[in-house]
Chain A
């Protein structure tokens, strides 16, 4: 996993609530057995005017000019500004894979769905929860000013606006540590192997039908 420290990124505003994982990456692309290459199909049904299929080239597909990520001013965005309950629906990790592959490293929203939120941290994406009124203000600033960028500092847990306003955010200490260092969860958990084995021995005696 790529470590995440500090990001100075162009912001793209996706102004709708309850954006679900089917919208982030439609199911036909879940047939892939790889974890890369989902970026061109991120938000496929909103982004293109035709229906995308796996294996089909995306270069000559008709783009929906009204979709925010297709607007010239948002090209190269790495911070996604979103509304409530972002990432609701399925557990598909293809959603953060697609966001990351597209180039997003941070997502700011008033709330996230639990599984999606968790999946982001496993893939080097920082989901940032800010108060709905603050998010609303960032939306207005972003739409009003072309080239609007935010600085995200995970270590300091701050988002800084172009005018220098600094907004603090909360993040779980364990997740922060892993994301800052790009650490592999499995390796860390296996350091506790003796405890896992001891648990199994105890459990086998208490509840033998489970083994």
Chain B
């Protein structure tokens, strides 16, 4: 039998039924739920008189709409409040575990899943959110799904799927100082494009990936969707297994050892075949900054805003022209000369403790530039916030003139009160620089936490390696 990829192994372990045309019922182990993409699914269940198949597989948390200040005041926006209250009511009615807004375990769904041990290696994980790919960092098969599928998984514990093609992206060698998982993710997207992974499940491999912490691997898998891949994953190693020891929902004692023995098999076989393979040299990756309105519109920090005349096609040329106009940028401008108005450090891409430590190390003993109106740090969860405070990171940020907020999705997509005003330019550690993403007319530049912090201090983009 030919060798199997990690994706093959995860897939095979979850097949319930296969139709003659290959359409598969895939069993789902963990269903993460948030307030934005679930209300219509619960309503659908109620209208059809259906019950959840296995309530213990689902865990819910409000994250997209929650305020990051004055939590004790509740949610001011009545529309946001209704959505969160609807989640509370649905979870109570259907008996689903929920970490409510003021629970210390509340946070961004993709941060709390691994943090609580709700996500485990070898699991199939779904959530009505495209950044569910994050959980693949642990050798899990994790997909973002739509609301119809949220309802389908609730009712049947299965997802109707056809197998994707397998792609391996190897990053070999050692990353330079100041170069992070976020830069690797953006460099990959710059290389293969935002549709480069469409139709594929991507395994990230190579010595540079093995060298990443679990937090870094999450950042990388999180951005797999920005390369078009619905699932990203990294093989299990000792770091993966150690991460889960003592997590609340992870197995304990002998059960942990039994699970760990299985988890160790979750690697691609040496002779496994991939449908596509991309190789990057880690040493050549520099800190990245996006200049446009798609994550593939990215250059290195020592680069310049590109010229549409150099685009490879007419369609692309028009896109670049439109992006430059929206972003208020001139072709040929050095990236380091672009001044910013706001800094956002947070999101499911970069709001874990390691991200906050990296950003704090840059701002320590410095102060945000006068032209920066707001620099905000939004931890990924209540527990990340607590740990950061134990380490004194909150004080480092506050002394530097940065704001220290409550956990949630916040200005990654601006569903709560945190947003850019029209024309404002932001150094953001989030995942999407689409038009209007962080607020109508807002201009987003995606960067790593260290690069966002450095931009906040300098008032413009700056190479964190020189900082």
Partners in one complex: yes
Residues of A that sit less than 8 Å from B by CB: 15-18, 20, 22-23, 26-28, 30-35, 45, 51, 54-55, 83-85, 88-93, 96, 111, 113-115, 118-119, 122-123, 172-174, 185-186, 189-190, 192, 195-196, 199-200, 203, 207-211
Task: State whether A90 touches B151 (Cβ < 8 A).
Answer: no
Q: Mark B196-220, 1 if CB is under 8 A from A, else 0.
A: 0011000000000000000000000
Task: State whether B65 touches A195 (Cβ < 8 A).
Answer: no
CB-contacts of B134-159 with A (<8 A): 144-149, 151-152, 155-158
With A113-B195, A210-B29, A210-B120 already in contact, the answer to whether A27 and B414 are too (CB < 8 A) is yes
B interface, size bucket? 35 or more
Q: How far is the CA of A195 from the CA of B25 in the complex (A)?
A: 10
Task: State whether A196 touches B158 (Cβ < 8 A).
Answer: yes
Q: Does B366 contact A (CB under 8 A)?
A: no
Task: Identify which of B86, B155, B435 contacts A33 (C-beta below 8 A).
Answer: B86
Q: How far is the CA of A89 from the CA of B436 in the complex (A)?
A: 13
Task: State whether A17 touches B315 (Cβ < 8 A).
Answer: yes
Task: State whether B434 touches A23 (Cβ < 8 A).
Answer: yes
B residues near A35, Cβ cutoff 8 Å: 40, 43, 147
CB-contacts of B31-65 with A (<8 A): 36-37, 39-40, 43, 48, 50, 53-54, 56, 64-65
With A16-B318, A88-B194, A210-B29 already in contact, the answer to whether A189 and B152 are too (CB < 8 A) is yes
In the complex formed, the residue of B with least CB distance to A184 is B48
Q: How far is the CA of A195 from the CA of B53 in the complex (A)?
A: 13
Q: How far is the CA of A22 from the CA of B196 in the complex (A)?
A: 20
Q: Does B415 contact A (CB under 8 A)?
A: yes
Selecting from B122-130, B334-342, B354-362, B385-393, the interface stretch reads B122-130
Q: Does B239 contact A (CB under 8 A)?
A: no
Task: State whether A189 touches B315 (Cβ < 8 A).
Answer: no
With A17-B319, A88-B194 already in contact, the answer to whether A22 and B146 are too (CB < 8 A) is no
In the complex formed, the residue of B with least CB distance to A209 is B251
Q: Does B80 contact A (CB under 8 A)?
A: yes
Q: How far is the CA of A33 from the CA of B39 in the complex (A)?
A: 5
Task: State whether A89 touches B435 (Cβ < 8 A).
Answer: no
Task: Identify which of A55, A88, A93 contacts B148 (C-beta below 8 A).
Answer: A93
With A31-B65, A33-B83, A209-B255 already in contact, the answer to whether A189 and B160 are too (CB < 8 A) is yes
Task: Identify which of A45, A84, A93 contacts B195 (C-beta below 8 A).
Answer: A84
Can you list 29 residue pairs at the A/B interface with Cβ under 8 Å?
A: A16-B319, A17-B315, A18-B194, A22-B437, A23-B434, A23-B435, A27-B437, A30-B415, A31-B80, A31-B82, A33-B82, A34-B39, A35-B43, A88-B228, A89-B130, A91-B132, A91-B145, A92-B37, A93-B147, A118-B149, A172-B23, A185-B148, A189-B160, A192-B158, A199-B16, A200-B157, A209-B250, A209-B256, A209-B259
A residues near B445, Cβ cutoff 8 Å: none
Task: State whether A209 touches B120 (Cβ < 8 A).
Answer: yes
Q: Does B258 contact A (CB under 8 A)?
A: yes
Task: State whether B198 touches A85 (Cβ < 8 A).
Answer: yes
Q: Mark B221-232, 1 if CB is under 8 A from A, else 0.
A: 000010010100
* A to B contact number (C-beta, < 8 Å): 184
Q: How far is the CA of A192 from the CA of B160 in the complex (A)?
A: 12
Task: State whether A196 touches B27 (Cβ < 8 A).
Answer: yes
Task: Identify which of B40, B80, B148 contacts A119 (C-beta below 8 A).
Answer: B148
Task: Identify which of A27, A114, A189 contacts B25 (C-beta below 8 A).
Answer: A189
With a 10 A CB-CB cut-off, give which of A27, A196, A199 has the most chain B CB atoms.
A27
In the complex formed, the residue of A with least CB distance to B117 is A209
Q: How far is the CA of A211 from the CA of B65 in the complex (A)?
A: 31
A residues near B432, Cβ cutoff 8 Å: 20, 22, 89-90
A residues near B175, Cβ cutoff 8 Å: none
In the complex formed, the residue of A with least CB distance to B128 is A91
Chain B nearest CB, measured from A49 CB (Å): 11
Task: Identify which of B48, B230, B319, B437 contacts A115 (C-beta below 8 A).
Answer: B230
B residues near A200, Cβ cutoff 8 Å: 27, 54, 157
Extra contacts besides A91-B37, A174-B23 (7): CB < 8 Å: A20-B294, A33-B40, A84-B195, A93-B148, A172-B162, A185-B148, A190-B155
Q: Mark B401-438, 1 if CB is under 8 A from A, else 0.
A: 00000000000011100000010000000001011110
Task: State whether B434 touches A119 (Cβ < 8 A).
Answer: no
Task: State whether B25 touches A34 (Cβ < 8 A).
Answer: no
B residues near A186, Cβ cutoff 8 Å: 48, 50, 151-152, 155-156
Q: How far is the CA of A18 from the CA of B230 in the complex (A)?
A: 16
Task: State whether A115 touches B198 (Cβ < 8 A).
Answer: no
A residues near B440, Cβ cutoff 8 Å: 26, 45, 51
Task: State whether A18 touches B39 (Cβ < 8 A).
Answer: no
Q: How far is the CA of A31 from the CA of B415 in the complex (A)?
A: 8
Chain A nearest CB, measured from B430 CB (Å): 12
In the complex formed, the residue of B with least CB distance to A83 is B315
B residues near A122, Cβ cutoff 8 Å: 146, 148-149
B residues near A84, Cβ cutoff 8 Å: 195, 315
With A18-B319, A84-B195, A172-B162 already in contact, the answer to whether A192 and B17 are too (CB < 8 A) is yes
In the complex formed, the residue of A with least CB distance to B230 is A114
With a 10 A CB-CB cut-off, give which of A173, A185, A196, A209 has the most chain B CB atoms.
A209
In the complex formed, the residue of A with least CB distance to B148 is A122
Q: Does B21 contact A (CB under 8 A)?
A: yes
Task: State whether B228 touches A93 (Cβ < 8 A).
Answer: no
A residues near B36, Cβ cutoff 8 Å: 30-31, 92
A residues near B437, Cβ cutoff 8 Å: 22, 27
Q: How far is the CA of A26 from the CA of B438 in the complex (A)?
A: 10
Task: State whether B39 touches A85 (Cβ < 8 A).
Answer: no
